[in-house]
A and B are shown apart, each in its own frame.
Chain A
Amino acid sequence: MRRLWQDAIRSFGGVGIAFILLTVGTWFIFMILLPQLIMLDFSFRPLLPLRKIGGPEDVYTLKNYIVLFTTPLHRAIFLKTIWSSIVVTTVALTICYPIAFYLAKVARGARLGWILMGLIIPYWINELLRIFAWQLILADSGILNQLLLFIGLIAEPLNFRAGNGAVIMGMTYAYILFMVFPLYNAMESLDRNQIDAARDLGSSWLRVHRRIVIPHAKPGIAVGCIMVFMLAAGSIAAPQLLGSPSSFWFTEIIYTNFETANWNQGAAYAMVLAVLCLIFIFGMLKIFRVGLKELAS
Chain B
Amino acid sequence: MKSSNVVLKVVTGGYLLLFFVYLFLPLVFMAIVAFNTSPIPQVTPWEGSTLKWFGKLFADGQMWDSLINSLIVAFFVVIISVPIGLGASLLLTRMQFKAREGLYAILVSPLLTPGIILGISTFLFWDRAFFISGGLWTAIMGQSTFISGYCMLLIMARSQRFDKTQEDAAFDLGATHRQVFWKITLPFLKPALLSAAALAFMQSFENYNTTLFAIGFEQTLPIYIGTKLRSFISPAMNALACIFIGLTIAGATVYEIMRRREHGKN
Contacts and interface: CB of A to CB of B under 8 A. Distances in A.
Q: Is the interface of B mostly helix, strand, loop or mixed?
A: helix
A35 interface: yes
Contacts of A129: 30, 225, 241, 244-245
Contacts of A281: 112
19 contacts: A12-B177, A24-B91, A27-B107, A27-B148, A34-B129, A35-B145, A99-B19, A102-B12, A124-B206, A128-B208, A129-B30, A132-B229, A133-B30, A135-B233, A137-B29, A143-B43, A230-B112, A258-B120, A292-B104
Given A32-B106, A130-B26, A117 B124 contact: no
Interface in B102-121: 103-110, 112-118, 120-121
A38 B125 contact: yes
Contacts of A251: 114, 116
Interface in B206-265: 206, 208-209, 212-213, 222, 225-226, 229-230, 233, 237, 241, 244-245, 248-249, 251-253, 255-256, 260
A127 B30 contact: no
A241 B227 CA distance: 10
A120 B47 CA distance: 33
Given A7-B95, A19-B87, 19 more contacts: A16-B181, A23-B83, A24-B91, A27-B145, A31-B144, A35-B125, A35-B145, A38-B125, A39-B124, A42-B124, A121-B245, A125-B248, A133-B26, A135-B233, A137-B29, A146-B44, A177-B23, A255-B116, A270-B121
A98 B15 contact: yes
A38 B19 CA distance: 44
B222 A121 contact: no
A254 interface: yes
Contacts of A93: none
B117 A274 contact: yes
Interface string A176-206: 0100000000000000000000000000000
Contacts of A4: 95, 97
Interface of A: 4, 7-8, 11-16, 19-20, 22-24, 26-28, 30-32, 34-36, 38-39, 42, 95, 98-99, 102, 106, 113, 115-122, 124-130, 132-137, 139, 141-143, 146, 173, 177, 226-227, 230-231, 233-237, 240-241, 251, 254-255, 258, 263, 266-267, 270, 273-274, 277, 281, 292-293, 295-296
B27 A15 contact: no
A135 B229 CA distance: 9
A249 B57 CA distance: 31
B59 to A, nearest CB: 21
Contacts of B15: 98-99
B163 to A, nearest CB: 14
Interface string B12-24: 1001100110111
A132 B91 CA distance: 42
B176 interface: yes
B153 interface: yes
Contact of A126 (B83, B141, B222): B222
Contacts of A277: 112-114
Of the listed residues B20, B84, B96, the one surrounded by the most CB atoms of chain A closer than 10 A to its CB is: B84
A95 B124 CA distance: 39
B61 to A, nearest CB: 20
Contact of A117 (B43, B115, B252): B252
Contacts of A102: 12, 16
Given A241-B229, A263-B124, A236 B209 contact: yes
Query: Ordered nearest first, which 7 A-B pairs have the shortest CB separation?
Result: A234-B114, A13-B177, A23-B87, A133-B26, A35-B121, A35-B125, A39-B121
B120 A136 contact: no
B120 A122 contact: no
Contact of B230 (A20, A240, A274): A240
Contacts of A30: 125, 141
Contact of A124 (B86, B104, B107, B252): B252
A128 B229 contact: yes
A266 B141 CA distance: 20
A113 B104 contact: no
Nearest to A292: B105
B117 A270 contact: yes
B117 to A, nearest CB: 5
Nearest to B38: A141
